[in-house]
Structure 1
Amino acid sequence: MEAMVDATDTQMAMLADLVASLEAAEATLSSMQAARDGLLALAGRLAVDIAKQGDHPDRGDMTIRTVAAEIGAVQRVSDRTVERRMADASWLVDRLPTVWEAQGAGRINAGHSRVIVDAGAHIDDAVDREAYAAEALAVAENESPNRLRRIARRIAERFQERDVTDRHRDARKRRRVWVKDLDDGMAELGMYGPAALVHGMFDRLSQMAHAIKSENQAAAKDSTATRDDRTIDELRADLLADLVLTGTPSAHDTVDGLLSAIHARVEVTVPATSLRGSDEDTSSTDRGSPPAELDGSIPIDIDTARFFAGTASGWDRVFTHPTTGAMLSVDRYRPSEHLRRHLRSRDQRCRFPTCGLAARKCDLDHNRAAATGGETTHSNLAAFCRRHHMLKHHSPWHVEQRSGGVLEWTSPTGRTYIDRPPAQNTVTFVDADVWFDANAGGAASMSSAPF
């Protein structure tokens, strides 16, 4: 009672109004999300119907991709995201319509719907699926999505036609590892795999971390020993990085040990003024330098950039205009594949609107086909990821390259989208004289395999 004892009647009335308003807002939001799911499911059906008319051998994959790109471009969302949303929406609307209707009525939210769909994904019989949905909805209307998850799984298990062993065998085929970029030069490594192996990996890392922690605590009693204050979480992360970057995949390596000879590669762009400066250097020029970037999009700390600079086997120098920051040219101390480096430095990422895949992972495409006279020059080439490269060649999407590397995309419905080369990670000066005095030299891009 102490927490609210000093609240006035007016404040309590305001709190009650806020709670009621938030309740109404949540119901409205759930209803609007359900409406969006309905539209996305309808878009998916339209794409399938169009594909059926032409009896395409890819079973409508390219048509669905084309429709997703159209929706994604106007919403400024990746078409991969739209395609995933279309698939999720179709599953909810077509297979569990009562759950979709409950969300539309505001009785449950999108989180509840997602839990019910995930738990019942393997129930193929329509009658069983409807019975499962009815039981899950009765729980969902009174519980949080987090609490619902365990209950929904138990309910779904009663209606499963296949046992967990068969389902696990199929699920193993979808095992994967992915990276999610975060702020402050950090990223997240995720893995989807067999639970027993994942928990075993985590347990081994934990045992190693605790062993190191115990050793550090014992060493701390010696006043001359270097103190290691890393937490268990920090130690687990450091151990995982060490094992992956330096360990040998003994169970998978070839007879000749080819896998153990593979080293990790990263590509870093760093302004020359940042690279040349020191931690004690407080000159105004270096304080104004932008941070180094990984793959042209992820800021990283200067200490990491300098470490890579000291171990890089090769450098690309990117010369930029002193006041506009536009890229002027690219060269290398040991020149090779000049045009590829130029385009990779200019484009930095896939040049389809909304796509952010790094240019080094993309194909170089002739915007005007070489077979019809298109030249192999920077003004007729651009970096497209494999997905959007295929989209350009096998769908009504059309692209033209304008001056300055600007791409003009035209969608199947006639909409036009402009994609400009990303700004260079470099230093710009208001006064050109400052640039010549500073002798900054633009930026540098390095490919390194230091591990």
Structure 2
Amino acid sequence: MDAEEYIAAVRAGAIDPYGRSADELQESLDAYDRDWTERLMALTDEQLDEVVAGRMPLPALPGPIESEHAARFRAEFEFVGRARALQAQRARLEAAERELLAARFARLADEPGVFDTNLRETASNLAVELRLSDRTMERRMIAAARTVTELPLTHDAHRAGRINSGHLRTIEQATETLRLDSNVQPDERARVEQELVAIAETVTPGQLRSRARRIVDRALSEPLQQRHDRARETRELFLQDEGDGMAFLGVRCIAVAAKAAYNRATDAARRKPKDDPRTFDQYRADVVLDLLTRGEVPDDTNGVHGVNGITATVALTIPATSLLRERGGDGAGQELFPALLDDEILVDVDTVRMLAAETVTWERLFLHPVTGVPVTVDTYRPNRAMRRWLRARDGRCRWPGCNNPVYRADVDHTHDWAAGGVTTIGNLAHLCRRHHTMKHATAWTVQQLQDGVLEFTSPLGVVLRSEPEPQGPAFTDTDDVIWGTIACTQPSLPNAPPLVDVPF
């Protein structure tokens, strides 16, 4: 059968161009017949006359009555989809504007006259139309040209809607020093940009910012130690008038010291009495001022705070391998490691029995045999060592898109304690108070997979994964190290030991 014969057979209805069988075609025709019959039977005589006269189309059958829950779900789904489409449209428009400004900036170099003067004139013309200052438009043109030429992958990803404006600005800011570093090769800059764009497609701008710092830092030609030594010389204490009888007191100092001071003030503020009318931030600010002016923290109404209402708990720590050994009368299966009392003091079992003779509450704690990480406890609240480990693992609130640090987060049972969940590192994760409440009060669901990976399912059925971010050091292949260059110079810390040759 040639092409013309095939077309004629299709038109005659002898062949289905979609490859359906005769039975399938018959079922389809029967379904159409039933639909038309039902729609005609639902018409009134007046409506039927209108349809026959061609003055109105045959109306569709009314659909099933939608439940309130289904209607809310559909409306939410349409709302989210519309918002996403608008964001993609906005990204395309912003990218088109950036390309327009960059192209005009590039053409200025070929025009007669002084480049800077031409740029200012063009910026002023545009500023009049957009009702902005000419300086603002000049900065926008320069920034657009740099982004299009120096960050082409980022620009393309934004134009395609894979990243938003926040991601774009974060990458621009994070790579500023890298793009100005003349000792970094173009291939290395492109590699860093590619890595940042890939991350930006899966995280929020805030989460990207913290990871971008580490990635860019490893690519810079000047080591962090030397940059830190230079920046450390800018330490200062400054005072700024804020008006209304208020002032801003700031300290520019080493990050580790600032973090330690901030955490100390935060820990002190957590002891705020419940009846204290001050907010947490107000109380914490008063803690800092009292420490600086009087050398003490704000006191509660009972005198020395942090003492009253403390109940001692005896924790008997047992290595997890003891569960796998047979117990015998000859002492087989006994652990070589002593018991641990309250996570701090090593004691023998007899002493533990004596100290715990009158203890009402017991807390079992099983440790990983290699890492020493607590595995499970019987109580609702995790052990202090478990909290330390979880803080190191999570680093922040684990909710998708949240970047709140762990000291602002609660330790949550992924599988609720009230529903039979256990206090184990495989069932615990940090959630800030906002998202902790949301997990329990909304239709969001969470389950914890292996290696601390959390799988969130939104009320609309979208599945998101939250993986712990690596907090440890980054290693470089020794083949990539250029010995004897600026990257391997004498450290300049006070009293630092000299560099010595190592046998590896």
TM-score normalized with structure 1 length: 0.38
| Greater Rg by CA | 2
TM-score normalized with structure 2 length: 0.34
With a CA cutoff of 8 Å and minimum separation of 6, indicate the structure with the bigger relative contact order: 1
